Structure 1
């Protein structure tokens, strides 16, 4: 196992924003709080950020070994309770009722090229502003996720072939290119849906482009905001699963393409199939 550095006969650690060098690689929670001058120690909590970027609390008499790499970053709180939240699908504990957008990015291990969203049930997830403070003491567990928002707005898509771009321009359809790592896709903004069937009249529609498109068919499509049936308030059949792409949580419509003609089919084919699915056919 790789070990933390032991230069000049000591181990370097960081507690909150201060750095310390200690001679003993095994410290208790009480020793860490005393080192950081957090007194009385009984009124404070101390956590360490482990190698999997999960926050773990250390009891006053519990010890932590600094020798395994990654056990050198600690956080303290003047608090007698912890608050639980989810970040990128993983449970985290925090020592106070407020947490900043910057700290959430730090815990997720991402830089300023990423954004943080607060998941909201029944409505579109909320993008947090830079440096925004979020309360964790509301009923239930707050859920956050991070992602990049790489988009290029306008009609002039650069990921679609010429035939598709011409079709979209001729039909006045606005499209955005989006990226999710190496994956590419296009989003049709405010795409109209039957208002008599759903709880809204428009939604963004995402089509993920497979490698080899347009010779290879796209599979399924995705909506955000999510659509619910006006009659009964339920999600449509096979449209109740989430899919993360380009920093947004999409409603996956599981509709597969069994027939695709390379060189013939393209965006016009996908849009016809989407329209048919949205009409419940």
Structure 2
């Protein structure tokens, strides 16, 4: 037989195990000012009076004792009631110097309490509300009040206070469809499916965040809704068909495997073809940040035959871009004929520490250069 068992420690370490016999048992009691220090009892089946006496809650007949067993509901213990500490595994005792109990309801279950107020933290403990659930105080003539663990609930009012817990939720507007999500992190293609859009239909996904430029993201990317300012997910068809027969994208030369994977993951509509002896990567309907005279543009990138040993330089736009505020875009006066159309040349070059490195740079990193250049011109 053990000399002493701390019941709280035992239950924490072995929540489903039978508490063995011991010469004494240590308990904890809440007395209105918080949980008191632990006290020991030599009787494995103490009465309510013995527990109150052990914690100097006297006279015992002027007190009410409440008991929260393991996995069971809070209950009142009369002075002559006995509790087998080894069987029920108490978590907490609560003592009040009072002649009456007040009631409140959480998720449809009634609970008794011996004070005029109770903290939200204690409500969570007693009603076993998960930490990630939000607790609300129900109101008739106003919206329910969201509570924090620092709040207290007054029980001595005219009516019976009712509280309800709800799982946290996050909102995301997907092309006008408002989703309510129970997880703050969602994969883009899953959000499309939940909103009723076919993820395989070739969508371009644009994430709009308040105060920031629109960002084109891949269908395999995740959106973290805990980040501030996320407003909506806008969808644009990757290719608009005006009635003509659609043809497969041209693949007249290959790119690096990681380039093609990146382009596909971002759901970019891309082609490779040779024109005028030059190898072109064409990004069709590339979504632009706000501030230009067009919302989408075709971007052509000259891929040298010896890529990636040779660097990719500049990029070319069709139709030609100007700024909405009338400001001239520097270093864009050059013109390049590509597949029967005249593209606007953007002279943007890597230099210094960012000079082209064949071991690390690729189409993928050059697209980052393109996006940075486009954002810079509109002050993003």
* Structure 2 residue ranges without an equivalent (≥5): 1-15, 198-380
Alpha carbons of structure 1 residues 53 and 104: separation in structure 2 relative to 1, 3 Å: farther
Q: Does 1:78 align with 2:81?
A: no
- How much does 1:178 deviate? 2.2
- How much does 1:176 deviate? 5.0
Contact 1:5 1:11 in 2 (8 A): no
Q: Does 1:12 align with 2:15?
A: no
Alpha carbons of structure 1 residues 72 and 138: separation in structure 2 relative to 1, 3 Å: same
- How much does 1:137 deviate? 1.1
Tell me the SS of whatever aligns to 1:63.
coil
Q: Does 1:146 align with 2:142?
A: no
Count of aligned pairs between the two proteins: 172
Tell me the SS of whatever aligns to 2:125.
helix
Any residues of structure 2 matched to 1:99-178 within 5 Å, and which? 99-151=118-170, 153-155=171-173, 165=174, 167-168=175-176, 175=178, 177-178=180-181
- How much does 1:108 deviate? 2.3
Q: Does 1:46 align with 2:49?
A: no
Tell me the SS of whatever aligns to 2:28.
strand
- How much does 1:116 deviate? 1.3
Contact 2:19 2:87 in 1 (8 A): no
Contact 1:25 1:67 in 2 (8 A): yes
- How much does 1:12 deviate? 3.4
Q: Distance in 2 between the 1:107 and 1:126 partners?
A: 20
> Which of the pair has more CA radius of gyration?
2
Tell me the SS of whatever aligns to 2:182.
strand
Other-structure match for 2:314: none
1:62 aligned to which of 48, 71, 81: 81
Alpha carbons of structure 1 residues 180 and 145: separation in structure 2 relative to 1, 3 Å: farther
What TM-score comes out, normalization by structure 2 length?
A: 0.40
Deviation string for 1:122-170 (max 9, x for gaps)? Answer: 432111133111110112211112233231x454xxxxxxxxx3x42xx
Q: Distance in 1 between the 2:125 and 2:169 partners?
A: 20
Tell me the SS of whatever aligns to 1:106.
helix
Q: Distance in 2 between the 1:111 and 1:7 partners?
A: 32
Other-structure match for 1:179: 182
Q: Distance in 1 between the 2:25 and 2:159 partners?
A: 39
CA RMSD of aligned residues (A): 3.1
What TM-score comes out, normalization by structure 1 length?
A: 0.53
Any residues of structure 2 matched to 1:195-274 within 5 Å, and which? 214=196
- How much does 1:91 deviate? 0.8
Any residues of structure 2 matched to 1:16-31 within 5 Å, and which? 16=30, 17=35, 18-31=37-50
